[in-house]
Amino acid sequence: MRRVLSVGVMAVAIVLWPSAAFAHPLGNFTINVYSGIHLLPGEVRIDYVVDMAEIPTFQEMPNVDADGDGTASDAERATWADHTAPKLLSNLRLSVGDRSVELHVLSSSMRLGPGQGGLSILRLEATFGGSVADVGTIRYRDDNYPGRIGWREITAVGEDGAAVERSSVPADSVSDALLSYPRDLLSSPPRVTEATVSYGPGVSLPAAPEPGTQVPGGARAGVAGGAFADLVSRTGLPLVALSILLAVGFGALHALGPGHGKTLMAVYLVGSGGRVRQAAAVGGAVAVMHTASVLALGLMVLSAERLFPPERVYPWLGLASGLVAVGLGAGLLVSRLAAWGSARRHELEHEGGPGHELGHVHAAPDEPVLSRRSLTALAVAGGILPSPTALVVLLASVAFHRVVFGLALIAAFSVGLAAALMAVGVLALRARDVVSRRMSSRWAQLVPVVSAGAIVAFGLVLMVRGFAQL
């Protein structure tokens, strides 16, 4: 038995042992851009950096891997950088006074770093330069990747006898040119795309360090779900089988995190007078919807002929989830208010009558608490937002030609998700029964009403958040 346990522990350790891969700290969808403006006597130089997370890198790789052999050679990376740098430059605007400054590509390079699920993250570094007067005011604007979320940062410094007198942007990069993102800014990254800088002859500040002195990803902070995404790269029948079991556990843990409709599901079951079988049905429906949304978004990414920003789908899905939740809660609230009013009328009619005690309420006849329409609405409201990590697993399985294994991991993940949601629903029902037994009948009648109102409030929050992200 000890040997069996030892082998099991070793297998789990091998599967979960951290590899040299890190999830992008800003999320799997982001494209992050940095512009470092350097002013010299008669010259301006811009150090330009693009840092792509796993999903945009996956979308860009067919353009990098020209021969389609699955590997980006040094020559292919250099060719891609040489073609991409002028395209990025065409979307930059720089002027001194009323005169536009013509910029040229001085250098460009690209490298790939390890990302989540065995996918890569891409880093492009380019230097642009042009001639300017010795004194003036520069206006700079970056119009690249307008539809993509991510970090946008600009800095400006003077060098070799040129000094910055006034500037709308700082001299130092808080992210070390997108190499080390501050943790306290990850939830609300800066989005600076314009800069105004006045300069002239003077004492220069020490020059900022050149970008690219660190390996991308080497000091990155991981995000939740990295261990699940890493399972797709495991090989060997024992590890594959163990990975599928672990995916079930990761799905359960994922369901217990923020979102995924567990609050909505629990409140609806309490408010509608649900039973254990309804909790099982709702948990399964939410998990199926969640899996379907992952597959749908994955197909959308894979079938896009050009770079498609999949993260832009999320606010619309959140808005749709909120609308469905509001409709579901409003319908339940109307029915529960009507039932509560009817019960109060019965109570008032029988108060003081022969054979009746004060506060007695006739039990309402049983009614269906979970129609197909309600089940569908709960599944949409709770499961329509796909997991970014599960999407990474799907894309990684396609990249590694392990689609069947990737689908098995996602299915196992959904099983764990469903099990956890069912458990939450059952616990909510048990808690409702315990509380109802300890409350007077009059107050117990208000529990479904309050629960329905909470669903409406939950849906409004989702709607507001979706509108804010559009």
Half-sphere exposure of 363 (CA within 13 A, CB side): 4
Q: Is 126 helix (H, G, I), strand (E, B) or coil?
A: strand
Q: Is 390 helix (H, G, I), strand (E, B) or coil?
A: helix
Q: Give the pLDDT confidence of 206-261 residue by residue, as tens digits.
A: 544 444 444 344 334 334 446 787 788 788 888 888 999 999 988 888 877 765 56
pLDDT at position 442 over 80: no
State how far the Cα of 416 lies from the Cα of 418, in Å rounded to an integer. Answer: 5
pTM for the whole structure: 0.72
Q: Give the pLDDT confidence of 69-88 residue by residue, as tens digits.
A: 888 999 999 999 999 999 99
**What is the residue type of 291?**
T
- Name every residue whose Cβ is closer than 8 Å to that of residue 394 and which is 6 or more positions away in sequence: 294, 295, 298, 406, 407, 410
The band of 270, judged by pLDDT with boundaries at 50, 70 and 90, is: low
CB 12 within 8 A of CB 242: yes
pLDDT of residue 4: 40
pLDDT of residue 317: 76
Q: Please indicate whether residue 258 or residue 300 has the higher confidence score (pLDDT).
A: 300
pLDDT of residue 361: 42
Distances (CA, A) of 433 to 103, 274, 438: 72, 11, 9
Give the pairing type, strands 152-158 and 31-40.
Answer: parallel
Q: Where are the alpha helices (DSSP H) in 304-387?
A: 313-350, 372-383
Q: Give the pLDDT confidence of 405-418 residue by residue, as tens digits.
A: 989 999 898 888 88
pLDDT at position 175 over 80: yes
Q: Please indicate whether residue 180 or residue 447 has the higher confidence score (pLDDT).
A: 180
Return phi, psi of residue 137, to 5°: -125, 120
- The 3-class secondary structure across 192-248, one letter per residue, is CCEEEEEEEECCCCCCCCCCCCCCCCCCCCCCCCHHHHHHHHCCCHHHHHHHHHHHH
Distance from chain centroid for Cα 284? 23
- Name every residue whose Cβ is closer than 8 Å to that of residue 217 and which is 6 or more positions away in sequence: 21, 22, 113, 114, 115, 121
Which of 161-170, 255-264, 294-303, 408-417 has the weakest average pLDDT? 255-264
